[in-house]
Structure 1
Amino acid sequence: MQAEASAEAPPLPVRLPRVTDYDHGISAIDADYFRTGLAAIHLIVEAGKAALVDTGTSSSVAGLMEILHQKNIAPVDVAYVFLTHIHLDHAGGAGEFMHRFPNAKLVVHPRGARHMADPARLVASAMAVYGEAEFKRVYGVIRPVEANRIVEAPDGFSLDFNGRPLLFLDTPGHARHHYCIFDKQSQSFFTGDTFGISYREFDVDGMEFVFPTTTPVQFDPIAAHASLDRLMTYNPSYAFLTHYGRIGHLPRHVAEMHDLIDAHVSIARKLHDAPNRHSALMEELGELLLQRVIAHGCKLPEEEIRSLLNLDVGLNAQGLEYWLDHAGGSS
């Protein structure tokens, strides 16, 4: 009886490390955004110099600075801050980090550069969604970055990071101000949100579960499919996702991403004129992802799976609604 009870007991919660060190001088550092394991700041170290990919929010600063100190990386040795795109969970801490790193350049998509120099519109837009009090609680103060420290990275832009070549590709679909970074040394991409979301709690025997993010306001399924296919032409070994960390098995995952993008679009179109559309979308998207996670082999209790997915389900529903109403989603 004891053996049976043990077998049926729910699995222990996954305890995620604050820092995950990979090869090629790459680490994922938890950004302290809502919960552990939700958002990562990727650190690249090359011959004594450092670069960050995405920044989290202003609340990420203290933890990141502590990790740099533990790794004996001085603020003056941070050469670059790369923003895959300017959504605030990726870029909200950029101004504060640039203040801390006096020698760093901020590298951003041309469509996002002006919002980093003058974040007033970015802040106003987010406050309209969250309300001023909640915005300040989650994102704190958004500091501007001096224009002369901003480097725009158009499609095909290349950069020599201390002898390490990095290539920047325009990858719309999630946002029109999104790039991905190809790191030839690791044969990998830093993908922001282009390759979707993959939480380590859903890993099963080393196999990850990946799903798309269709958040407001620039979701474009045709562009999203094209961006994924373009990344795969480089035959990458891994993708480093802001949400969360490194994933492999990319040929399998890109097929799953294509399928789930289409499934999200299909659900949105079906519910275009539904009463209580947002609630209906959340219910169907939540059920879609729950069943996919279970089919993937995840043994977490359903309540825990839903809890881990809930934030993204709500944002995906909002983004799909905006797409339906503004971008020809009903056609």
Structure 2
Amino acid sequence: MTLPQEAGDERLAHGITVVDTGFVRPRFDAAYLVVEEGRAAVIDTGTNAAVPRILAALAAQGLEPAQVDWVIPTHIHLDHAGGAGLLMQQLPNARLLVHPRGARHMVDPSQLMAGVRAVYGEEAVRRDYGELVPVPAQRVLAAEDGMVVHLAQRPLRLLDTPGHARHHLCVWDEASGGCFTGDTLGVSYREFHTARWHYALPSSSPVQYDPVALHASVARLLSLRPALAFITHYGAVAQVEAQADMVLRQSDAMAALAQRLRDAPDFGPRLRDGLRRIYLAEARSRKVGLGDDEILQLVQADVELNAQGLAIWLGSGSAPAGAAAQ
């Protein structure tokens, strides 16, 4: 299949820029730069390799690193927070705002790194993520549910949103009427977008997927009536209710499939096959202009990670050593 060869920053309204972190492929993983009255916040950071891209996006707007006040990972999975420590070294005035369950792992990432290695393997971690840089404890602030911080005079409200992970938060931005949702509203790759339609799927990646909590978190976000969802994978989505419905419908189907197969001797292969069928059926219903093989290639990693997360949720699998940190 043909994937986009180039990608770049996308400037949106309300001082928001989508920064392509370059992780995996173009337009797969986003960091968001939010600028207000000469002050800046970075929401999600990508991996260590994304740090030069974020600094370049800052410079492109005529801002210095000292003008960044906040770095806010939605959660501590490495495609969202892996570059946070390295980035913080470049931002002398910034504070790291992170879910209370994730704060200690930003200060001492050793347990987090052990869990990531257990899930992905040593070689993949070295290739894709590198080593996490610790953040000094005095620069880390635990984001309690409902906390409001300000970027200049612009309020940003932090919401505890478990489901994808227990250390997940979303950021409500009153100025744009939008919410930075991390993985709570799933993933919607740009290859799945057309002028009228898009397709999104849930992320149940290890190790803390909880479909019941996900329903509650999505309902909470929708109660805010967001005009936009700024998702990490990838970009701004205006059809927020449609995306939420897609994600929850498939999450329910995934959980039901896993429960039906719980005692099957070939649980893993049948679960993966069933996930592929769920995703293909939904993508076709959304009129995605790709063939089946192209769709399956795009979701291949999600099938594997989602199957692992479902197995752990069921108790059919066990959390890898150190993975409780994730």
The TM-score bracket by the shorter chain reads: over 0.9
- Pairing of 1:108-257 with structure 2 (within 5 A): 108-257=98-247
> What's the offset of the Cα at 1:326?
6.8
- Aligned residue type for 1:32: G
Paired position in structure 2 for 1:52: 42
Contact 2:73 2:98 in 1 (8 A): yes
Query: CA 1:211–1:16 in 2, change beyond 3 Å: closer, same or farther?
Result: farther
1:292 aligns with 2:282: yes
**In structure 2, distance between residues paired with 1:215 and 1:322:** 10
Contact 2:262 2:316 in 1 (8 A): no
Equivalent residue for 1:323, pick from 306, 313, 319: 313
- Aligned residue type for 1:221: P
Contact 1:68 1:74 in 2 (8 A): yes
* Secondary structure at the counterpart of residue 72 of structure 1: coil
Contact 1:204 1:296 in 2 (8 A): no
Deviations 1:200-256 (A, max 9, x none): 111122432121111111001110000000111111101100111110122222222
Larger radius of gyration: 1
> What's the offset of the Cα at 1:63?
2.3
Contact 1:19 1:30 in 2 (8 A): yes
Query: CA 1:284–1:164 in 2, change beyond 3 Å: closer, same or farther?
Result: same
Contact 1:32 1:60 in 2 (8 A): yes
> What's the offset of the Cα at 1:73?
2.1
> What's the offset of the Cα at 1:15?
5.9
- Aligned residue type for 2:276: G
* Secondary structure at the counterpart of residue 246 of structure 1: strand
> What's the offset of the Cα at 1:128?
2.0
Scaled by the length of structure 1, what TM-score is found? 0.92
Moved more, 124-133 or 53-62: 124-133
Moved more, 184-193 or 196-205: 196-205
Contact 1:54 1:82 in 2 (8 A): yes
Contact 2:166 2:208 in 1 (8 A): yes
**In structure 2, distance between residues paired with 1:261 and 1:299:** 23
- Pairing of 1:19-34 with structure 2 (within 5 A): 19-34=9-24
Aligned-pair Cα RMSD in Å: 1.6
* Secondary structure at the counterpart of residue 163 of structure 2: coil
> What's the offset of the Cα at 1:149?
0.5
> What's the offset of the Cα at 1:13?
5.0
Equivalent residue for 1:303, pick from 293, 297, 300: 293
* Secondary structure at the counterpart of residue 222 of structure 1: helix
**In structure 2, distance between residues paired with 1:157 and 1:185:** 16
Contact 2:159 2:171 in 1 (8 A): yes
> What's the offset of the Cα at 1:115?
0.5
**In structure 1, distance between residues paired with 2:36 and 2:6:** 26
Deviations 1:255-286 (A, max 9, x none): 22221111111111122122332222111111
**In structure 1, distance between residues paired with 2:138 and 2:151:** 19
**In structure 2, distance between residues paired with 1:237 and 1:271:** 38
The count of corresponding residues between Structure 1 and Structure 2 is 317
1:85 aligns with 2:79: no
Equivalent residue for 1:283, pick from 266, 273, 278: 273
- Pairing of 1:88-103 with structure 2 (within 5 A): 88-103=78-93
**In structure 2, distance between residues paired with 1:45 and 1:205:** 28
Paired position in structure 2 for 1:6: none
* Secondary structure at the counterpart of residue 186 of structure 1: coil
Q: Percent identity?
A: 43
- Aligned residue type for 2:120: Y
- Aligned residue type for 2:221: L
* Secondary structure at the counterpart of residue 166 of structure 1: strand
Which ranges of structure 1 fall in alignment gaps of 5 or more residues? 1-9
Which ranges of structure 2 fall in alignment gaps of 5 or more residues? 318-326
- Aligned residue type for 2:255: V
Deviations 1:126-175 (A, max 9, x none): 12223323211111120100011111111111111110011111000111
- Aligned residue type for 1:19: D
> What's the offset of the Cα at 1:295?
1.8
**In structure 2, distance between residues paired with 1:15 and 1:255:** 31
* Secondary structure at the counterpart of residue 18 of structure 2: strand
Which structure has the higher relative contact order (CA within 8 Å, separation 6+)?
2
> What's the offset of the Cα at 1:40?
0.3
- Aligned residue type for 1:44: V
